[in-house]
Structure 1
Amino acid sequence: MFTGIVEYTTKVYQLNREKNNLCITFHNPFCKNEIKINQSICHNGICLSIVNIHKKIYSVIASEETLLCSNLNFLRIQDEVNLERGILLQNRLNGHIVKGHVDTIATIIKIENRNGSWLFFFKSKNKLNHLVVKKGSIAINGISLTIITCDRYTFKVSILPYTYENTNLHMMNVGDIVNVEFDILGKYIKKYCKKYKNL
């Protein structure tokens, strides 16, 4: 489980296809003993487990299912990726509950520089329905953000300088594709309401 508060960014070192899976190797920004084999780390909002660590690089494997519902197929060598390790139970939950299980992808359709902050506009691949609400939480590439406005397919968020500079958002352009995870509480409520409606 994660909070959407990015710890580090790193760059893709190597990409290797293994049948229907993708082995991704990253430069390791963590100190010695901070990560280990089989540890889950959130990469651009995707929970992936470490399968190998060698000196200053480590590798994870993305399954076919993960590739189908995320933007990993668009990764290139040297692309920058957001990282967050799983939360410790004694830590404050500064963002919101992020599972690391991507729901869909979205395309950046507009970026506005607001003289000290940025507005990012996204168009979702799937209908947003009741999964997003004004002032609600959403995870974009693993970053916990607050929705300003939304409709059936589009939504807008505001990005402060610290978030912009310390995540891969500063590398993003119009047309780029991001991973989206909706608020888990909203998903449970939607399922409950749908079940109640069908009774």
Structure 2
Amino acid sequence: MFTGIVEEVGRVSQVIRGVNSQKLTIRAKKIMDDMSLGDSIAVNGICLTVTEFCKDSFSVDVMHETLNNTSLLGVAIGKKVNLERAMQVNGRLGGHIVSGHIDGIGLIADIKKDDIAFRYKISCERHLLKYIVRKGSITIDGISLTVASLYEDSFEVSVIPHTSKNTILNEKKIGDIVNLENDCIGKYVERLINFENNTYEVKKGCGITEEFLLKNGF
């Protein structure tokens, strides 16, 4: 598990492409301090496993499923990436609970200055938007952010200067692809509501009622 608080920006130093997979080597500094084989590292919000490492870099394998559903498909040597080590139980939870399992991708539709901050408008598919709520949490390329505005086909986040300076968001342009992970709570609630119907989709008109809450111990 992660918090969405990016620890440092790394740089891709090697890409070995397979038929439906990739091996990435990433140069880093801070996160190398206590690294071990098998550690989980969030790379642009994607939970990946360390397979090799040395003093200033580590390698991870990227499988077919991950390539199909994230922005890593087009990653190239020299590309900067957000990095975060797995959360420690005795540490502060500065962001929100992030699994590193990407739900889908979004597209940066607009970037505008807002006093000291920048507002990013992200367009995405409806199956992702249904889990996004105003003032709720969203993970963009591994960064825990708060939803500022919601639209029919997009949402906005406001990014403070510190976050912009210490992540790769300040290098993003309109039209760039970003990885999105929804807050897990909404997905679990949806699954619980629809379990007996054996479906992952919320039916029209379905809602939480007093009867439902009492039946499930609330």
Aligned to 1:94: 94
Instruction: Tell me, yes or no, if the aligned pair for 1:128 and 1:152 is still in contact at 8 Å.
Output: no
Query: TM-score normalised to the size of structure 1?
Result: 0.94
Counterparts in 2 of 1:32 and 1:132: CA distance versus 1, 3 Å: closer
Q: Deviations over 1:44-77 (max 9, x none)?
A: 0000001111332211011000111110012121
Structure 1 segment 1-199 matched on structure 2, within 5 A: 1-30=1-30, 33-195=33-195, 197=206
Aligned equivalents of 2:98, 2:47: Cα separation in 1: 10
Instruction: Tell me, yes or no, if the aligned pair for 1:41 and 1:86 is still in contact at 8 Å.
Output: yes
Structure 1 unmatched runs, 5+? none
Comparing 177-186 with 15-24, which one deviates more in the overlay?
Answer: 15-24
In the TM superposition, what is the alpha-carbon distance from 1:182 to its structure 2 partner?
0.1
Comparing 139-148 with 125-134, which one deviates more in the overlay?
Answer: 125-134
The structure with the largest strand share of the pair is 1
Q: Percent identity?
A: 37
In the TM superposition, what is the alpha-carbon distance from 1:114 to its structure 2 partner?
1.4
SS in 2 for 1:128: helix
Comparing 53-62 with 124-133, which one deviates more in the overlay?
Answer: 124-133
Larger Rg: 2
Aligned equivalents of 1:100, 1:4: Cα separation in 2: 9
Comparing 50-59 with 111-120, which one deviates more in the overlay?
Answer: 50-59
Counterparts in 2 of 1:10 and 1:33: CA distance versus 1, 3 Å: closer
Query: TM-score normalised to the size of structure 2?
Result: 0.86
Structure with greater contact order relative to length (CA < 8 Å, sep ≥ 6): 1
Amino acid at match of 1:29: K
Structure 2 unmatched runs, 5+? 197-205, 213-218
Aligned equivalents of 1:105, 1:32: Cα separation in 2: 28
In the TM superposition, what is the alpha-carbon distance from 1:36 to its structure 2 partner?
1.4
In the TM superposition, what is the alpha-carbon distance from 1:153 to its structure 2 partner?
2.5
Comparing 12-21 with 130-139, which one deviates more in the overlay?
Answer: 12-21
RMSD (Å) for aligned C-alpha atoms: 1.8
In the TM superposition, what is the alpha-carbon distance from 1:133 to its structure 2 partner?
0.5
